[in-house]
Amino acid sequence: MSGHDSKYFSTTKKGEIPELKEELNSQYKDKRKDAVKKVIAAMTVGKDVSSLFTDVVNCMQTENLELKKLVYLYLINYAKSQPDLAILAVNTFVKDSQDPNPLIRALAVRTMGCIRVDKITEYLCDPLQRCLKDDDPYVRKTAAICVAKLFDINAELVEDRGFLDSLKDLISDNNPMVVANAVAALAEIQENSSRPIFEITGHTLSKLLTALNECTEWGQVFILDALSRYKAADAREAENIVERVTPRLQHANCAVVLSAVKMILQQMELITSTDVVRNLCKKMAPPLVTLLSAEPEIQYVALRNINLIVQRRPTILAHEIKVFFCKYNDPIYVKMEKLEIMIKLASDRNIDQVLLEFKEYATEVDVDFVRKAVRAIGRCAIKLERAAERCISVLLELIKIKVNYVVQEAIIVIKDIFRRYPNTYESIIATLCESLDTLDEPEAKASMIWIIGEYAERIDNADELLESFLESFPEEPAQVQLQLLTATVKLFLKKPTEGPQQMIQVVLNNATVETDNPDLRDRAYIYWRLLSTDPEAAKDVVLAEKPVITDDSNQLDPSLLDELLANIATLSSVYHKPPEAFVTRVKTTAQRIEEDDYPNGSEQGYSDATSHVVDGAASPPTSSSSSPYTATRQSAPPAAAPAPAPQVPDLLGDLMGLDNSGAIVPADQPAAPSSPPLPVLLPASTGQGLQISAQLTRRDGQIFYSLLFENNSQIPLDGFMIQFNKNTFGLAAAGPLQVPQLQPGTSAMSLLPMILFQNISAGPPSSLMQIAVKNNQQPVWYFNDKMAVNVLFTEDGRMERGSFLETWRSLPDSNEILKEFPGIVMSNPEATLDRLAASNMFFIAKRKHVNQDVFYFSAKIPQGVPILIELTTAVGNPGVKCAIKTPNPDMAPLFFEAVETLLKA
Amino acid sequence: MAGAASALFLLDIKGRVLIWRDYRGDVSSVQAERFFTKFIEKEDDPKSQDPVVYDSGVTYMFIQHNNVYLMAASRQNCNAASLLLFLHRLVDVFKYYFEELEEESLRDNFVVVYELLDEIMDFGFPQFTEAKILSEFIKTDAYKMEVTQRPPMAVTNAVSWRSEGIQYKKNEVFLDVVESVNILVNSNGQIIRSDVVGALKMRTYLSGMPECKLGLNDKVLLEAQGRTSKGKAIDLDDIKFHQCVRLARFENDRTISFIPPDGAFDLMTYRLSTQVKPLIWVEAQVEKHSRSRIEITVKARSQYKDRSTATNVEIELPVPSDATNPNVRTSMGSAAYAPENDALVWKIKSFPGNKEYMLRAEFSLPSITAEEPAPERKAPIRVKFEIPYFTVSGIQVRYLKIIEKSGYHALPWVRYITKAGEYELRLM
C-alpha cells in the first residue's frame, strides 16, 4: 500500500506561497486538499508557511477527516507564531468537540490541548469538561491526557475548574484504557506539583491492580510505574501486592516486565519472610535473563538495570553468569555492560570460566572492549583474593602477546593488584620491566614508575630504569612527572647511594625550577624540605604503609542505589543518576500554588527559597518556537523575600525517593517514660490539625530523632515522610520515617535513627535544623528545630588528666572562649556531675579558686574533635562562668548552648 | 517516575529530520538535528554508540532500521524501556503499512505517517500500536476514507488486539512451534552456554470472537492435575505471552486461554536453559604452513537421531582477511569463499542424523606482513540449520480448543521445527 505523497514535495519555480494561497482558496474540494498537503509537505521540509495561516484555517470546516487532520497538524505547528489568528480556529474546535463522530470529538480536544496558546486554552475548558464525561471511552481516554496538557500550560486553570477531581473519577472508569491514561496524567501532574494530588490509597490500589489485567501493554506500564510509588502498610499487604503483580513477569512486553520487577523489588523491602523473598528472587531470575534476548537497545536498558539489581540482591542472578558472556555480534554498548555485570557476579566458584572469557575478549579487535576486559581481570583479582594469582597469570599471558595497548592496560591493573596485595607478587616485576620501553600512555607509564619506586629495593637496576625516564622529564605529562618525582624519592630513601643522590638532584631541580605545574612544584618542595631537615621523617612519610584498596569503584552509595531501584526502567536507572541530575523540565506553575498555601509565617523564606531555586534551575529552552512556554514562565510572580536561601532545591525530590531505605525501626517504640514532653515544633494551628513535636536524643551511642505526631484534623493521615535540610553536622535520617496511618484524634511516636555528615551545609556553624515532613493528605510542612549539640557528644570523650592538660596547653589562648550563664545555679555538684557524665560530658578535675569552685570537663564530638570545658561557680549561688577550649573555636557558641542545656536540665 | 517523550523524530541515515512530531513543545527539531548529525558522525567513540544519550538537558533514545533512524527525545525521567520498545513497535506499524520502512516509503506516505504519529502517541505517552486495528481507521488510500469512520471498539476495549465481526468461510488455525538453539562453545571445545528459545507462532483465520485454550505437555500443569504423563513432560524456564493471553489465569492454574488477534502473531515464547547436546558439532583445525599458506580442515558431525534430517545447513568458517586463491574440497555439499565476510561458507542441503562430513581448504597468504601484527579479528564458526518435525525440548501441543458462540468447527494445524539461533563455536 505504497503512497505517492512525495509528489507534494516538488514545487513549481514561480512564487510558491502565492500559488498555494490561490489553491487553498479554490472552489474545488480536491484542489484544496491537495493544496493543504503541499503546505504540510513544505512544513515538513522546514519551509516557513505560516503566512498561509488564514487560508489553511479556512479549510478546517470540512467533512473530510483526512483534510481536517492535516489542518489540525498545521495549527499545532503554527498557532504559537500566530496567536491572534489562532483564535479563528476556536469555533470549529468547539463545534468539532460536539461532533456525533467520537473520532472527531477526540481529535478536536486532543489537538486543542497541543496548542499552547493562552487564548485557546480558555476555550478548551468547556469542551474538555464535556469530553471527560463523554459516552465513548475513546474520547474519555483522550480527554484524560488532555488534562495533563492543560496542567502543563496553566495549572491554576485545571485546579479552578475541578479537572483534577474529574480525572480522579476516571480512575474508577469501567474502561481500562481510560483508567490507564488517567493514571498517566495524574502521575505526571503529581510529579510537577508539590502538593499531594494523586495519592494511592488501598482502595485505588486494588482498583488499579484489577485494571492492570485488562489494559493495553502501554497502559500496564503507566499503572505499574505509578503503583511502584505505593508503600504497603505491612509485610502482608506487600505480599498481596506482589502476588498480583508477578503474573506480569510473563508478559511479552519487556517494559511491562521491567516495571513489574521494579514494583516487586520495592515491595520486597517490606517483606520479612525469608522464604517469600527467596521465592521471589527465584521467580524474577528467568524473566531478567530473557530480557537479554530482546532487541539490543532494550538489552542495554535491561543490563543497566540488572547492574543495579545485582548490587542490591546478588543472589538473584548468582548462578546465571553465563548468560552475560558476550556474543560475537553483540553491539559494543551491550558488551561493555555485560562485562560490568560479569565482574559483579564473579565468584570463587565461577572465576575460572570467567577468566577464560575475559582472556578471549582481551584478544578481540575492538580496542575499548579489549581494554575493559583487561581491566576486568584486574578488578576480579582485587575482588577475589583466592583468585588473584590466577588473574595475574592470565595478565602475564596477555602481556606476552605483546599487543601494545593490552600490555599498557595490564600494567595499570597490576599496579592496583600490588596495592591490594602488597609484597605478594613482586616476582613478576621482571616480566613487567621487559615491556618498559613500549609504554607510551601516561597512565601506564605512571603505573610502571610507581611499581619501580615502590619495590626499588627488590629491583637491582631500579636506578637505571628510572634514569631512563629522567631524560625526558620536562616533556612527560604531569601524571608521569608526579610519579617520577615520588619514585625517585623512594629510591633515594631505600638506596641512599651516589647514583640516586644525583638523580634526586636532577628531579628536584626539574620539578621546582623548570616547571609551571603548581602541584608538581609543591610536592617537590615538600620532599626537598623533608629530605633536608629530617630524612628519617621523610622515610616515615614517603614509605609509610599505604591503606589497602578495595574494588568499590563501581559500587553505588546505598541511598543512591535505593533511589535508582525505585526508578527501574527509567532514564535514571540507565544513567545511574538521580532524576534531579538530568531532568530539565520543571514546572513553575506548581510553585505558585504552594506559595498561596503559605501566606505568612517566619518560615516563609524557606519555602520561598525552594521555589526560587527551582525557578532558576528550570531554564526554559529559549528557541523561538517555544515562546508561549517562556511567556508562562515569565508570568510567574517572582518569589518574594530573597531570604538567605538555604539551598533545598531537591528537597521534595528526595522525599519521594526516600521511601525505600533499608533500616527499619519500630514505629511504636515509646520514648523513655521519664523524659519530659517533646517541644512542639509544628503547632496544630499551622499544620492544619497536624501537630509535630520532636527532639534529638542519644541512646546507646546512636542519635535518634524522637518524634510525636498528633492528628487533630478530621481526616486520617498516612504516608509520612521526612527530610532534613543541609545543616552544620550533616545530620540526616538514616532510614525512612515509620509512622502508621493516623486516625483523627490519635497520635504516634516514632524514633528515627539519624546519621551524621550526610549533607553538610557550608557557612558558619549553626544549631539550626530545617525539617520537611510530608504526608499523602496535606501539603509539605516545613519547620525548624534547634539541634541540641550535646547529643553529638560521644561515649569516648573521657580524657586522662595528663592528656587533658597537654591538650589544654597545646591549644593557643585564642581558642579559649568565655561565656556567662547568669541564671544557672549549681546546688548539688555531685548530681550535676553524674548527669553530665550520662550525657558524655566527663568530669576531669576540680579545684578551689578563692571562694569559687572550678570544674574541668572533657567531651568529644564525632570525627574526634575534643572539647575542653572549664566551669567556674560558687556552689549554691546563681551564675556559672564557662570557658571552652577546642580546636574548632567557631563551634564554641554551639557548645555553650549544649552546656547550658545540660546544666539547666 | 512519571515521564513521557517530548517529540518523535524520523531521521535519514545522516541524521537529518525527515518527519517529526512535537508532543510537548520543549525540544525543537533544529536542536535535535544539530545534536544527532554530529553524534552519529563520531562513530569511533564507543560512548557514542549507546542507544540512550544525553545532550544539553535532553535525552535522546534511538534505534535504526534500514536507512532510517527512529528517535524519541525527552526532558523528563521517562521510562526508557517502554519508549525504546515503542520505537521498535513503530517500525512494525510502518512495515505493516508500507511493507518496507525506509526513507523513501516515509516520504511517499508522509500524510499517513503524520496521522499515525498522532494516534499512537499522545502528549508523549504511548497509546496504541496494533497495526491491524490502526489500519481499520487510518488508511493509506485517502479516497477510501469514509467520513463517518469511528474509532474501532478494539482501540479502547479490553480486547484491544481484535475487532469484532471478522468472517471466514473456512475457520483454520496454523500453529508453528519453532525452537532456536543458541550455543556458545569456547576454544577448548567446552560448551559455555546453551539454551533453547522457543516460539509458538500462530496464524489464525477465525470468525467472530473465538475463545481458545491451548494445552501443552507442561510439567507443572500435569503435576498439578495429578497426572503422571505417559509421554515426556517438560519444564519451561521462562514463558512470555502475547498480551492476548490471560496472565492471571495462567498464574492461577497454568491454563493458557485467550482470544487471538486476527492473522499472524507470536502466542508465546519460552526459554530452556538446560544443557543441550550440540545438534551439529564442528571441529576445525587451522594450520599455517610457512608464511604463505594456510590449511583448514573441518569436520562436521550431526548428533541427532537417524530419523531426523537437518536441511539448509550452512557452516560459516572465518578465514584471514588477506587470504586468496581458495582451494576447497568437501565430502558433501558445496563451499564458496565469501571474501566480503572473510569467510568460507559451506552449504549442505540435507544432513541426516549421525553422519560426519569433511571439508579441506587451502588459501594463499601474502608473504609480506605488517611490522606490528594487528590482532586478528577472531570470528567464531557460525552454523545455520533447520530440522523439521523435531523439537529439542520435546514440547508437544496436546490440544488447541476453539470455542465461538456461533459454534463453528475450526481446524488446528500444528508443525514443529528446530533451527539454529546464535550458534557459535570459537576457533582454537
Residue scoring higher pLDDT (A48 or B32): B32
Report how far residue A52's alpha carbon sits from residue B31's, in angstroms, rounded to the nearest whole number: 25
| Cell numbers that stand for B314 in this block | 550452512
CB-based contact A497:A455 (threshold 8 Å): no
- Nearest Cβ partner for A44 among B110, B118, B150: B110
Report how far residue A179's alpha carbon sits from residue A141's, in angstroms, rounded to the nearest whole number: 8
CB-based contact A339:A326 (threshold 8 Å): yes
Mean pLDDT of all residues in chain A? 83
Q: How would DSSP label each residue in A473-542?
A: GGGS-HHHHHHHHHHHHHHHHHS-SHHHHHHHHHHHHHHHTS---HHHHHHHHHHHHHHHH-HHHHHHHH
Cβ-Cβ contacts under 8 Å, B158 against chain A: 176, 214-215
Range name among A662-666, A789-793, A879-883, B230-234 with the lowest pLDDT average: A662-666
List, in sequence order, every beta strand (DSSP E) within B206-279.
211-216, 238-241, 256-258, 263-272
Residue A885 has pLDDT above 60, yes or no: yes
| Cell numbers that stand for A591 in this block | 510553585
Report how far residue A605's alpha carbon sits from residue A595's, in angstroms, rounded to the nearest whole number: 11
φ, ψ of residue B266 to 5 degrees: the values are: -95, 110
In the beta sheet, which residues pair with residue A757? none
In the beta sheet, which residues pair with residue B318? B343
Confidence of residue B170 (pLDDT cuts 50, 70, 90): very high
Q: Which helix (H) or strand (E) holds A66?
A: helix A65-78
φ, ψ of residue A613 to 5 degrees: the values are: -65, -45
Cβ-Cβ contacts under 8 Å, B114 against chain A: 40, 69-70, 73
Q: What is the pLDDT of residue A587?
A: 45
CB atoms closer than 10 angstroms to residue A551:
16
Cβ-Cβ contacts under 8 Å, A73 against chain B: 114, 118
Closest CA of chain B from A593, distance in Å = 21
CB-based contact B229:B217 (threshold 8 Å): yes
Confidence of residue A878 (pLDDT cuts 50, 70, 90): confident
At position A167, the amino acid (one-letter code) is L
Pick from A748, A792, A783: nearest CA to A886: A792
CB-based contact A551:A346 (threshold 8 Å): no
Q: How does pLDDT run across A430-478, given as a tens digit for each residue?
A: 888 888 888 889 999 999 999 999 998 888 888 888 888 888 888 889 9
- Partner-chain contact B50 A333, CB within 8 Å: yes
- Partner-chain contact B186 A360, CB within 8 Å: yes
Q: Which burial class, exposed, middle or buried, applies to B369 when counting CB atoms under 10 A from its CB (0-12, 13-18, 19+)? A: exposed
CA-nearest residue to A246 within chain B is B251
CB-based contact A403:A412 (threshold 8 Å): no
Q: Which helix (H) or strand (E) holds B94?
A: helix B80-98
Q: Which helix (H) or strand (E) holds B315?
A: strand B309-318
CB-based contact A116:A153 (threshold 8 Å): yes
Residue A429 has pLDDT above 70, yes or no: yes
At position A27, the amino acid (one-letter code) is Q
Residues 6+ positions from A905 with CB-CB distance below 8 Å? A835
Q: What is the pLDDT of residue A311?
A: 93
Report how far residue B195's alpha carbon sits from residue B183's, in angstroms, rounded to the nearest whole number: 6
CB-based contact A882:A776 (threshold 8 Å): no
The highest-confidence range among A602-606, A634-638, B315-319, by mean pLDDT, is: B315-319
Mean pLDDT of all residues in chain B? 88
Closest CA of chain A from B80, distance in Å = 5
Report how far residue A172's alpha carbon sits from residue A778's, in angstroms, rounded to the nearest whole number: 23
Q: What is the pLDDT of residue A585?
A: 64
Task: Choose from B33, B48, B85 for mutation: most chain A CBs within 10 A.
Answer: B85
List, in sequence order, every beta strand (DSSP E) within A262-406.
none
Q: What is the pLDDT of residue A601?
A: 38
Output the CA–CA distances (angstroms, integers) from residue A759 to A651, A656, A769, A791, B410, in the order listed.
12, 17, 12, 18, 69
Confidence of residue A583 (pLDDT cuts 50, 70, 90): confident
- Partner-chain contact A216 B240, CB within 8 Å: no
Helix (H, G, I), strand (E, B) or coil at A181: helix
Confidence of residue A617 (pLDDT cuts 50, 70, 90): very low
Q: What is the pLDDT of residue A678?
A: 82
Report how far residue B231's alpha carbon sits from residue A419's, in angstroms, rounded to the nearest whole number: 60
Q: How does pLDDT run across A765-776, given as a tens digit for each residue?
A: 888 888 888 888
CA-nearest residue to B247 within chain A is A247
Residue A271 has pLDDT above 80, yes or no: yes
- Nearest Cβ partner for B26 among A1, A370, A629: A629
DSSP letter at B13? T
- Partner-chain contact A222 B125, CB within 8 Å: yes
Residue B420 has pLDDT above 80, yes or no: yes
Q: How does pLDDT run across A103-138, given as a tens digit for each residue?
A: 999 999 999 999 888 888 888 999 999 999 999 999
| Cell numbers that stand for A759 in this block | 549533607
Q: What is the pLDDT of residue A604?
A: 37
| Cell numbers that stand for A20 in this block | 498555494
CB-based contact A721:A659 (threshold 8 Å): yes
Q: What is the pLDDT of residue B13?
A: 92
CA-nearest residue to B135 within chain A is A1
DSSP letter at A471? T
| Cell numbers that stand for A236 in this block | 502482608
Closest CA of chain A from B375, distance in Å = 6
Place of cell 521498535: B88
Q: What is the pLDDT of residue A608?
A: 36
Pick from B173, B356, B376, B203: nearest CA to B281: B356
- Partner-chain contact A101 B424, CB within 8 Å: no
User: What pTM was computed for the model?
Assistant: 0.74
In the beta sheet, which residues pair with residue A773? A722, A781
Cβ-Cβ contacts under 8 Å, A570 against chain B: 1, 3, 77-80
Q: How does pLDDT run across B58-114, given as a tens digit for each residue?
A: 999 999 999 999 999 999 999 999 999 999 999 999 999 988 899 999 998 999 999
Task: Choose from A43, A63, A103, A397 for mutation: most chain B CBs within 10 A.
Answer: A103
Q: What is the pLDDT of residue B141?
A: 58
φ, ψ of residue A433 to 5 degrees: the values are: -65, -25
Residues 6+ positions from A605 with CB-CB distance below 8 Å? A641, A643, A644, A645
The answer, for B79 touching chain A at a CB cutoff of 8 Å, is: yes
Q: What angle, rounded to 10 degrees, do the helices at A254-268 and A235-245 form?
A: 170
Taking the CA atoms of A48, A51, A55 and A61 in sequence, report the sign of the dihedral they define.
positive
DSSP letter at A886? -
Report how far residue B379's alpha carbon sits from residue A329's, in angstroms, rounded to the nearest whole number: 9
Output the CA–CA distances (angstroms, integers) from residue B102 to B18, B61, B93, in the order listed.
11, 19, 13
Cβ-Cβ contacts under 8 Å, B27 against chain A: 621
The answer, for B90 touching chain A at a CB cutoff of 8 Å, is: no
Q: How does pLDDT run across A455-468, given as a tens digit for each residue?
A: 988 888 888 888 88
CB-based contact B175:B265 (threshold 8 Å): no
Q: How does pLDDT run across A508-518, given as a tens digit for each residue?
A: 888 888 888 88
- Partner-chain contact B379 A137, CB within 8 Å: no
DSSP letter at A251? B
State the alpha helices, DSSP H only, in A568-695: 571-575, 589-597, 604-618, 627-635, 651-657
Q: How does pLDDT run across B36-62, given as a tens digit for each residue?
A: 998 888 766 655 679 999 998 999 999
In the beta sheet, which residues pair with residue A752? A705
Range name among A39-48, A848-857, B258-267 with the lowest pLDDT average: A848-857
Residues 6+ positions from A291 with CB-CB distance below 8 Å? A254, A257, A258, A298, A299, A302, A306
CA-nearest residue to B199 within chain A is A252
Residue A331 has pLDDT above 60, yes or no: yes
Report how far residue A109's alpha carbon sits from residue B314's, in angstroms, rounded to the nearest whole number: 57
Q: What is the mean pLDDT of residues A280-292?
A: 94
Place of cell 535519514: B12
CB-based contact A350:A380 (threshold 8 Å): no
Pick from A442, A393, A374, A446: nearest CA to A415: A446
Q: What is the pLDDT of residue A219?
A: 95
- Partner-chain contact A184 B30, CB within 8 Å: no
Report how far residue B68's alpha carbon sits from residue B91's, in angstroms, rounded to the nearest whole number: 10
Residue A170 has pLDDT above 60, yes or no: yes
Secondary-structure breakdown of chain B: helix, strand, coil percentages, each rounded to the nearest 5? 20, 45, 40
DSSP letter at A77? H
ipTM greater than 0.85, yes or no?
yes
Q: What is the mean pLDDT of residues A78-103?
A: 88
CB atoms closer than 10 angstroms to residue A464:
10
- Partner-chain contact B251 A369, CB within 8 Å: no
Residues 204-233 of B with CB under 8 A from A: none
Residue A173 has pLDDT above 60, yes or no: yes
Range name among A139-143, A360-364, A391-395 with the lowest pLDDT average: A360-364
Q: What is the pLDDT of residue B40?
A: 85
CB-based contact A328:B424 (threshold 8 Å): yes
**In degrees to the nearest 10, what's the CA dihedral of A247, A249, A250, A255?**
130
Report how far residue B192's alpha carbon sits from residue A654's, in angstroms, rounded to the nearest whole number: 44
CB atoms closer than 10 angstroms to residue A30:
11
Q: What is the mean pLDDT of residues A388-408?
A: 92
- Partner-chain contact B241 A289, CB within 8 Å: no
Q: Which burial class, exposed, middle or buried, applies to B249 when counting CB atoms under 10 A from its CB (0-12, 13-18, 19+)? A: middle
CB-based contact B71:B39 (threshold 8 Å): no
Q: What is the pLDDT of residue B370?
A: 62
Q: Give the pairing type, strands B411-425 and B172-185.
A: parallel
CB atoms closer than 10 angstroms to residue B18:
17
